[in-house]
Chains A and B, each alone.
Chain A
Amino acid sequence: MKVAGKCWKYGDDINTDVIYPGRYTYQLLSEAEIASHALEDLDSEFAEKMDPGDIVVGGENWGVGSAREQAVKTLKYKGVAAIIAKSFARIYFRNCLNEGLLVITCRDAVDAIENGEMVTIDMEEGIIETKSRMFRFEQYPEYVKELVESGGIISYTKNKLSSY
Chain B
Amino acid sequence: MGQTFAENLLSQKAGRDVKAGDIVVVSPDYCISHENASSVSQTFYKMTDKVWDAERIVLTLDHTVPASTEAYANSHSIIRQFAKEQNIVHFYDLNKHGGICHQIMCQEAYSAPGRLILGTDSHTCTAGAMGAFATGIGRSEMASVWALGQIWLKVPETIKINVHGRFAAGVYAKDLILTVCGMFGAGGASYKCLEFDGEGIHNMSIAERMTICNMAIEMDAKSAVCKPDDKVRDKLVKKNITENVNWIWADKEAVYCEELDINLAEIKPSVAKPSRVDNHANVEEVEGTHIDQAFIGACTNGRLEDLHVVTDILRGRQVKVRTIIIPASCEVLSDALKEGIISELVDAGCTIMPPGCGPCVGVSGGVIGDGESCIATSNRNFKGRMGSRNGNIYLASPATAAVSALNGYISDPRKIL
A interface list, Cβ under 8 A from B: 13, 15-18, 21-23, 25-28, 41, 60-61, 64-69, 72, 87, 89-91, 94-95, 98-99, 143, 152-154, 156-158, 160-161
Contact = CB atoms under 8 A, between A and B. Distances in A.
B64 interface: yes
Nearest to B389: A41
Contacts of A152: 140
B87 interface: no
Given A17-B384, A41-B389, A67 B187 contact: no
B175 interface: no
Given A27-B72, A64-B186, A91 B47 contact: no
Contact of A153 (B39, B140, B186, B384): B140
Given A98-B138, A98-B141, A64 B363 contact: no
A90 B222 contact: yes
Contacts of B187: 13, 60-61, 64, 87, 89
Nearest to A161: B48
B11 interface: no
Nearest to B124: A67
A160 B121 CA distance: 25
A16 B141 CA distance: 18
Nearest to A22: B361
A163 B46 CA distance: 17
A60 B64 CA distance: 32
B220 A89 contact: yes
Given A18-B382, A153-B144, 20 more contacts: A13-B186, A17-B384, A23-B362, A23-B363, A25-B63, A26-B36, A26-B75, A27-B71, A28-B42, A65-B218, A67-B121, A87-B187, A89-B187, A91-B138, A98-B140, A98-B141, A153-B140, A158-B47, A160-B148, A161-B48
Interface string B118-162: 001110100000000000111111011001100010100000000
Interface of B: 23, 35-36, 38-39, 42-43, 46-48, 63-64, 69, 71-72, 74-75, 78, 120-122, 124, 136-141, 143-144, 147-148, 152, 154, 186-187, 190-191, 217-218, 220, 222, 276, 361-363, 380, 382-385, 389
A13 B276 CA distance: 9
Nearest to B72: A26
Given A61-B220, A67-B137, A98-B140, A90 B23 contact: no
A94 B138 contact: yes
Nearest to B44: A157
Given A22-B363, A61-B190, A154 B121 contact: no
A89 B43 CA distance: 23
A17 B382 contact: yes
B140 A25 contact: no
A48 to B, nearest CB: 17
Nearest to A158: B47
Contacts of B64: 26
B138 A21 contact: no
B120 A26 contact: no
Contacts of B141: 94-95, 98, 153
B6 to A, nearest CB: 14
Contact of A90 (B36, B48, B74, B191): B191
Contacts of B382: 15-18, 65
Contacts of B190: 61, 87, 89-90
Nearest to B67: A26
Nearest to A146: B152
A41 B383 CA distance: 7
9 contacts: A15-B186, A21-B362, A61-B190, A66-B121, A89-B220, A90-B190, A153-B143, A157-B48, A161-B148
B138 A61 contact: no
Contact of B35 (A26, A69, A160): A26
A67 B363 contact: no
A54 B53 CA distance: 42
Contacts of B139: 69
A154 B122 contact: no
Given A28-B71, A61-B186, A89-B187, A17 B383 contact: yes
Contacts of B389: 41
Residue of B69, B138, B362, B384 with most partner-chain A CB within 10 A: B138
A49 B121 CA distance: 31
A72 B38 CA distance: 18
Given A66-B122, A153-B143, A160-B148, A18 B384 contact: yes
